Structure formats: structure tokens, C-alpha cells
Amino acid sequence: MNASPAPLPAPAPLPAAGVPDGRTVVRTLVSLKLRLLRNGLRRSRGRAALYVLGATFGLLFATGVALVLTVLHGHVEHGAAGDAGVVLAGALTLAWAAIPLFLFTSDESSDPTRLTMLPLRPGPLLRGSALAALLGPGPLISLVLLTGAALSGAHGTASAVAGAVGVPLAVLTVVTLSRAVAAGNARLLSSRRGKDFAVFGGLLFALLAQLANLGSQSVFGKASENGVDLDPLAPFAAVLRWVPPVGAVDAARTAGEGRWPLALLQLAATAALLALLLRWWRASLQQLMVTADASTVEVVRGVQRARRGPRFLPEGRTGAVMQRHLRYAWREPRAKAAVFTSIGMTLVICVLSIVQGWSTVYLVAMTGMFLGLQMLNLFGMDGSAFWMVAATLLTPADARDELRGRAYAVLSYAVPVTLVLALVLAAATGDWSGLPAAVGLAFALLGSGLAIGAVLSVLAPYTMPADNNPMRNAAPGQGGLVMLNSFGSMFGSAALAAPVLGYLVWALATDAVTWPLLLAGPLYGAAVAALGLRLAAGRLLERLPEILAKAVER
């Protein structure tokens, strides 16, 4: 009689292979942030020195601001020092919210999409990312500034207790706000459109900073007999102190005045905002971990659109080079940053001159110079892709067409921008009689910049960094070549345009006519540009090995 088979043992629960526990994830993310900081400093001694100097200067500046706010407390009337502290806390909160929009690609630890392939749960990932975000000089500088802001309105032991709770709570809130904004917009900020937004946002931020500087000068331009009058800050502080996390810093002043219920309300509002930000951050991380990246959708359709070139471009190699250069200028973050920075610098100076009352239509000449210098380091900007261009440069005619196409691409946006800005300056200043001479001088400088840029691109190219950070325009060790290109091109352009500039100075001094420059300036600029392109093309073929070595070096 056969015995019945023994029952099979119950299957053991499968271990969560590859899924680390929460504590391990937190420790790993914190150690990863420390490793990123350490490896970043090891890249070069110059970078390490700049990082240390920047962090030291930031801490010294924050300490100085905190000491000034503390000293002002008790030396100004009506609690104006407390109002200054509230405004400082509000500005710091705005800065933390805007940091990921402009510097997302420069901080590797702020991009959660780098962790999407790892088996991580949202909770441990959130805790580890929050602790890692608190490491570095930024949160420490914020802690010092917010401490000074709290001390500016403190009164007694009650303020110390409220400040001990409110200041760390405010620091944690602003850091969480920054990371929540980064996680919520990670797909956009890591894409090409996000990098474009960073370029435009940086220019807008520079313009707004100059406008704020003008506003502060107009408000605080007059000092009282006993010192700087801080009363204009009162209306802003009256609103900002009710906005979390600024309210957590202002809770020290409120508690010092004996209004504990109001201080508790300010702290509770900041705590509620922190909870909402953490919830948003967690939801964004969870969505990033389970949602596929759709950045490659319709790639074929996009390639087909890219193959159709505009009909107004010249025929042959010149038109093809012009189209390629324009596409690079629109899609490459560094190239786009260079173009719009040149335009933005001129706009900022023109706006300042109009507001301050010293504007002149001849400021448009700066536009011609800055945009003409977009011919600098043409081949270093191509990077490793330049080897394909080098392989097709076989004859002097190919070299001339290559440089001519790139010059035409620069002219295609430099000429209309210069004309529009010249009309705006003429309308703002009312100096329509000086418009022809100003346009002629601008085009003379534009042609001189094209000539100098083409020659320096062949004789003194430099290596561009491997990353797509538009804030970095050269690889380590290339500072000398960058300085040569930047300052040499500006002085060289001014020297080449000296005949046109000299005639303008003579005509203005002797009340002679200046309108002939409207014709002479563009003709002179075109002649100088043609000569510079011809000289550069003559050396391009023999310099190809050196240029290719600089272009592909990383």
C-alpha cells in the first residue's frame, strides 16, 4: 500500500529584493549629497577655491547683514528695524522659490528624475531628499539671515522662545519650497524648453534687479538727519508679516510684544504651509517615479520638420551653414544665452539711461558691437560635432562658404534688433536727427565684430564645457583664451571702426552733417567684415587640426 505523499511546505514570503528600507535610503541620499559636494571640489583647485571663497563671502555677508539689523534694533523709531527684517525674509523666500527655475541644471542633487530607475518608495525618498537639501552653504546662510531678521524685532525672553521655533521652521520651509518647485517642474526644467526659460528668466531677473535698484534709490535717496529712513518699508512689511514663512520669523517680534495668540497663529500658518509643500513634493516624486518620459514622442515628425529649410536662405553650402547655425543658436542653451545676454545687456543699459535721464540714441552702437561678437569661438561652440564640419572643408571655397554662412546667420537677427532698438531710443530721447549717424556707427561696429570674431575663432578657439549649463562658457584652464577673445574682440572692434567713430566725433564737435554715416557706416562695416572673413578663411584649412582638438576636448 503506497503511502500518501507528504504535503508540500508553505512557500516562504518572497523577500523585497532590491528594495532597501527607509533608513538605508535616507543615509544613502545624505551621503550621496556629501559625495557630490566633495567630488565637485576635486575637479580642479580653481573650482574648489571659488567654492570656498564664495561660501565664506556669503557667510560673512549674511553675518554682516544680521549684525546690522541687530544694531538697528533700538536705534530707529517705530520698529523700523523689524520691518526691514520682515522684508529681508520675504526677499529670501522669493529667492529660494526662484532658484530651481534658473539653476536647475547646475545642481545635480535637485533633479529627482536621476533616481527614477531605482526601486525607491516616496516616503524614504522624501525624507532623504529633505535632509540632503539642508546640507550646503545655502541653508546655513539663510539661517544666519533669518536669525538676524528675527533679532531685528525681538523683545525679551518671549521673543527668544518664539525665534528658536520660528527661524528653523522658516529655514526648513524655504528649502522645502525650493525642492517642491524643482520636483513639480522637473520634466519641464530638464527639457530644452526649461533651459530656454532659464535663459529668459535670468535676463528678466537682471532687468527687474536693476529696476528694483532704481526704485530703492528713489525711495531711500534722501536720508534723515539721524540716519537712513526705513519708514518706506512699513507698507510692505505690514503685508509680508502675514505671509508664511515670513510670519514665523516675525513671530519673535509679536511674542515680544505680549501677543502670544498672534505669534502662535503665525507659527501655525508656516507649519501648515510646510505640510502642504511636503505633500506636493511627495506627490511630485511619486508621479515622477511611475510616469514615463514622453520627451521622445513624435521624434520622426520633428526630424521631418527640421529637414524643411526656409526658402529665403541662400543656395549651396552658405545657406546650409546659415540654417545650421540658426538652429544651434535657438536650441543650444549656451548659444541662446550668449545671444539674449547681448541683447539683454543693451536693453538694461538703455532702460537705466532713460530712467536716469542721460540716454542718447548713440547707445544703439553697443548693440552692434555685442551682437557682432557672436562670431567668437564659432567652432568651439560646435563641440565634438565639429569633426563632421571639418571633414567637409576641402577647399578654400568651402572655408569661405562656412564662415560666410555663419556671418549671415548672425546678421539675420543682429540687423533687425539694431534697427528696432535704434527707433525706440530715438523715440525715447526725441533725437531723430542723430538716428542716421547712430545706425551707421552701429553697423560699422557690427561688421568689425564679425571680422574680429571670425579671425579669433580660427586663431584662438577654446574648449566649451561638456555640460549644458549656460552659466559656464569655458572648460577649466581656458580662462586666458576667454579673456583674449572677450577683451581683444571689444577693443579690436572699436579700433577697426575708428574711422567711422572719428568722423562722428569730428562732425559733432564742428556741427557738421552726420547723416552720410547712414550710408558710409554699413558700407565700411561690410568691407571690414568681408576682409576679416577672407583672412580667416585663408587660415582655416591649415588650422583645422588645432581647432578640432579644442572642439572635442572635454
For 323-381, the pLDDT digits (tens) are: 888 887 777 767 777 777 777 777 777 777 777 777 888 888 888 888 888 888 888 77
Least confident of 117-131, 268-282, 345-359: 345-359
Burial (CB count within 10 angstroms: exposed 0-12, middle 13-18, buried 19+), residue 18: exposed
Looking at residue 77, what is its pLDDT?
56
Return the domain boundaries, the chain: 24-186+234-290, 312-552
Backbone phi and psi for residue 152, each to the nearest 5 degrees, phi listed first = -65, -20
Exposure on the CB side of residue 541, measured as CA atoms within 13 A: 13
Looking at residue 203, what is its pLDDT?
59
Looking at residue 171, what is its pLDDT?
93
Q: Coil, strand or helix: which one is 183?
A: helix
Q: What is the pTM of this model?
A: 0.58
Query: Which one has a higher pLDDT value, 91 or 293?
Result: 91
Can you tell me the distance from the alpha carbon of 271 to that of 5, in angstroms, rounded to the nearest whole number? 64
Looking at residue 533, what is its pLDDT?
93
Confidence of residue 465 (pLDDT cuts 50, 70, 90): low
- Percent of the chain, pLDDT > 90? 21
Position 199 pLDDT exceeds 60:
no
Which residues, listed in sequence order, are joined to residue 227 by a DSSP beta bridge?
224
Least confident of 68-82, 139-153, 191-205, 399-413: 191-205
Cis omega (within 30 of 0) for bond into 314: no
State the average pLDDT over residues 238-242: 84
- Between the CA atoms of 282, 286, 292 and 293, what dihedral angle is there, to the nearest 10 degrees? 20
- The vertex-390 CA angle with 386 and 394, nearest 5°, equals 160
The rounded mean pLDDT for the chain is: 78
Position 167 pLDDT exceeds 90:
yes
Looking at residue 523, what is its pLDDT?
95
User: Which one-letter DSSP state was computed for residue 424?
Assistant: H
Three-state SS annotation for 497-529: CHHHHHHHHHHHHHCCCCCCHHHHHHHHHHHHH
Query: Which grid coordinates belong to 29?
Result: 541620499
For 391-445, the pLDDT digits (tens) are 888 888 999 999 999 999 999 989 999 999 899 888 888 888 889 999 999 999 9
Exposure on the CB side of residue 233, measured as CA atoms within 13 A: 24
Query: Which one has a higher pLDDT value, 207 or 255?
Result: 255
